[in-house]
Amino acid sequence: MATVSSADAPRTGAPRRFWLWFGLLATLLLALSAARPLSVPDEGRYADISRWMLVSGDWLVPRLDGLPFFHKPPLTHWLQAISMAVFGVSPWSARVPGVLLALLMVAVVYRVVRDLGGRALAGRAAFMLGASGMVLIGAQYVNHDIGVAAWITVAIACFARSFAEEFRPHAGWACAGFLACALGLLTKGLIGVALPGLALFIWVTWTHQWRKVWRLPWGRGLALFVVVAVPWFVLIAWRFRGAFEYLFGVQQFDRYIDTGFNNRQPWWFFLAAVALLLAPWIVFAVLEAAGQIRERWTRVRRTPSNRWVALCWIWFIAILVFFSIPRSKLIGYIFPAIPPLAILAALGWQRTMAGRPRAVLWFGVLAAIPIVLSTALTLGFPYIDRQPVARDVGLELRCRLAPSDVVLVTGGYPFDLPFVARTRKPLVVLDDWPQLRKTEHDTWRRELFEAGDFQPGLASEVLRSPDLVQKDAHAPGYWLVQRADKGAQNIPAPAGWNLVFQGRAWRLFRSTPAEGTAEPVAGAPKRGCSEAASAHAKTNG
């Protein structure tokens, strides 16, 4: 296996061609991020939580439909809200932080592998990671997965680079690792610390480096970690009783060990996911594994030039096993296992293809596969998405909604509607909430009423009974959004409500004031609204 020790690795700046490729990758990711509307439920939910921070001025508490939402810590929403403040509210601005974090992950992989294994290997590993489904698609998805994957990658890579020093870990790299752990904790909770800790613990034990562990800058590192990560959790625990236990107990431990949550998948699910996310480069990771087995790699695992390669395998396997244990599995969970596998794939290419005729040509052909497929999937997503998006109704409502108007929702929750319509008040969601507390498990309804438990007064105004449809039918300034797909198109309009707009999955009604004030009705919208909404729907969100 051709590796280079840290002492022999080149230390000069990155070559121009790497930065040229890096710039092209950034351009492609930013362009793809603008190419499709929000998907539901996740993108609509998380993008609007971030927008609500900006609109309300409450940067402390993530809020879903105005209610405290403590499923995840706030860093992702802070970054998205800042992006919206700079670039305006749009799906693209909500995706910019994910793109930047993915680029950070690629850049750190390049820098650390360059120091540990040489410039050629580093460039190849960074390219394989950048030209992977995880980055090309995962980076443009509005949720927490790419962010926590980036911070976990940065943390492990920085500590690995710190340990490359012969006697004492490099303090600067180690402090960067502590900072990345803090930011990982603020992104998605305990896994931001637990997964780097798990991988590094196994690695230092496997390679007999515990002496270096004691020489880490623990004082500075822990102080940095506490200053960055702890204050938000303290403030939330002080302001909302039970929030700390809910965030770490219900949303972290219970989701990991309980079998009652959604997204159940078989044990091999993440093996298939890894192959898909790193295709076609995964083939070379398998070839590298086969080659190392033939060389009886475990006999040389303690030599400095092989320790970081051992870390890549430990990093990948530890995260794969960790997330394969619970029954609830989502493809984004396995993102932190892709960077070490990309490094191993680069080693596999070096082992099997280096020096062969037309190797560069084949590398380009293979790189084109994920790039073309990811671009096609992104551009075609609006045509294949079957989720009940409310973008068309949201655009119509944005054109018509007055600041004092109230929007009622029945038949579901249109996660993307508040973001698209730019609402400044919570939606009033109509359902039998007392009964739902007895029957609902891992659903959007449970998300809402559990969020309401942290602010019952506001919840009593936002989570209402269905009889409001009749009570508010003749009140001025009321709108009703009703689920319209799954055969609901033929359901007659509720009494007293005028149908204003028929969307793909939702219908929009307006109340009829008792005094008979003329209002737009179906077929006669306010001049320009439907036309503007239709035109806008074809371009951006």
**Is residue 490 a part of any domain in this protein?**
yes
Q: Quick one: 350 and 419 in the same domain?
A: no
Q: Looking at the structure, tell me whether residues 508 and 374 fall in a common domain.
A: no
- In a domain, residue 1? The reply is no
What token pair was written down for 389?
A: 């998006």
Of 362, 382, 402, the residue that ends a domain is 382
pLDDT at 272: 96
- Both 353 and 399 in a single domain? no
Q: Kindly tell me if the per-residue pLDDT of 393 is higher than 70.
A: yes
Q: Which pLDDT score, from 0 to 100, does residue 487 have?
A: 55
Q: Please give the residue range of the domain that contains residue 499.
A: 391-431+466-537
pLDDT above 80 for 386: no
122 burial class (0-12, 13-18, 19+ CB within 10 angstroms)? Answer: buried
Strand partners, 408: 428, 480
Q: Exposure string (b/e) for 240-279, b if CB count within 10 Å is 16 or more?
A: beebeebbeeebbeebeeeeeeeeebeeebbeebbeebbe
Encode pLDDT of 495-536 as tens digits.
Answer: 889 999 999 899 999 998 765 444 444 333 444 465 555 555
Q: What does pTM read for this prediction?
A: 0.92
**How many domains does one find in the chain?**
2
Q: Tokens 């007392």 sit at which residue?
A: 434
Together in a domain, 319 and 346: yes
Query: pLDDT at residue 30 above 90?
Result: yes
Nearest Cα to 419, choosing from 103, 150, 45?
45
Q: Which of 318, 352, 382 is the last residue of a domain?
A: 382
Is the predicted pLDDT of residue 215 greater than 90, yes or no? yes
Asked if 259 and 303 sit in the same domain, the reply is: yes
Pick from 382, 415, 449: which residue ends a domain? 382
Would the pLDDT of 368 be above 90?
yes
145 belongs to a structural domain: yes
pLDDT of 75-101, one tens digit each? Answer: 999 999 999 999 999 999 999 999 999
Q: pLDDT tens digit string along 424-479?
A: 999 999 999 999 998 888 899 999 999 999 999 999 999 999 999 988 888 899 99
Give domain status of residue 242, yes or no: yes
Do residue 396 and residue 378 come from a single domain?
Answer: no
Q: Is 509 contained in some domain?
A: yes
Tokens of 302: 């303690």
In tens, the pLDDT along 158-179 reads 999 999 988 899 999 999 999 9
Examine residue 454 and state whether it is found in any structural domain, yes or no.
Answer: no
Same domain, 404 and 376: no
The answer to whether position 2 is within a domain reads no
**pLDDT, mean of residues 29-34:** 96
pLDDT of 539 reads 47
For residues 349 and 411, membership in a common domain is answered with no
Residues 417, 367: one domain? no
Contact 224, 179 (CB under 8 A): yes
Residue 3 located in a structural domain: no
Angle subtended at Cα 58 by Cα 55 and Cα 64, rounded to the nearest 5 degrees = 75
For residue 290, the model assigns a pLDDT of 86
| Residue 415 sits in the same domain as residue 322 | no
Quote the tokens at residue 157: 């890579």
Q: Is 309 exposed, middle or buried (0-12, 13-18, 19+ CB in 10 A)?
A: buried
DSSP 309-371: HHHHHHHHHHHHHHHHSSSB--GGGGGGGHHHHHHHHHHHHHHHTTT-TTHHHHHHHHHHHHH
